[in-house]
């Protein structure tokens, strides 16, 4: 297992008012993303626990691309990864943002 952490400043705060959302499962080639609206301003943090060690640079690129596209300000992402490919990671992150931006508590 490897623990990774990334800190970014997004362009703007994420929409919606939901406090948490979760998507995905921890399985081979899959991951779960728990997203929580707990950070001030446009801060964005991702904490990753991954079963595939040595892919820090790939995560760095995927995360930077995600923050640029979705501007998830104020959100903290906690990820349990079962060795998902970068495209699956991007998809789950996008799903997580969409879920927390939906209407609801």
Partner 1 sequence: MTAPIKHTAQSWAERAGTTSFNEASARTRLELLLDAGSFVEFIGPEQREVSPHLRIFDLPEQFDDGIVVGRGRLNGSTVFVAAQEGRFMGGAFGEVHGAKLIGLLRAARQIKSIPVLILFDTGGVRLQEANAGELAIAEIMRAVMEARTAGVKVIGLIGGRSGCYGGGGLIAGCCSALAVSEPGRIAVSGPEVIETNRGVEEFDSRDRALVWRTMGGKHRRLLGAADVFTDDTVEGFRDAALELLGLIEPFGLDRLKAEQVRLADRLRSFGACADAVDIWAAEGVAHAEMVPELPADQFIALANNIGRTSRDAR
Given a contact cutoff of 8 angstroms between Cβ atoms, the answer to whether 83 and 52 are in contact is yes
Q: Which of residues 9 and 68 has its CB atom nearest to partner 1 in the complex?
A: 68
Give least dist CB 13 to partner 1, A.
Answer: 20
Q: Is 21 helix (H, G, I), strand (E, B) or coil?
A: strand
Give least dist CB 48 to partner 1, A.
Answer: 10
Q: Which of residues 32 and 44 has its CB atom nearest to partner 1 in the complex?
A: 32
Sheet containing 75-81: order of strands:
2-9, 43-50, 75-81, 31-37, 20-23
Given a contact cutoff of 8 angstroms between Cβ atoms, the answer to whether 73 and 43 are in contact is yes
Where do contacts with partner 1 occur on this chain (CB under 8 A)?
Answer: 1, 20, 22, 25-27, 30, 32, 34, 36, 49-51, 78, 80-82, 87, 90-91, 94-95, 98
């Amino acid at each position: 297992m490897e623990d990774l952490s990334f800190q970014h400043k997004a362009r703007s705060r994420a929409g919606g008012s939901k406090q948490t959302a979760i998507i995905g499962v921890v399985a081979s080639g899959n991951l779960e993303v728990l997203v929580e609206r707990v950070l001030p301003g446009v801060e964005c943090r991702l904490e990753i626990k991954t079963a595939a060690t040595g892919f820090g640079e790939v995560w760095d690129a995927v995360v930077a691309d995600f923050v640029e596209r979705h501007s998830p300000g104020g959100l903290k992402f906690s990820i349990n990864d079962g060795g998902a490919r970068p495209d699956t990671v991007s998809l789950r992150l996008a799903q997580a943002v969409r879920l927390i931006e939906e209407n609801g508590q």
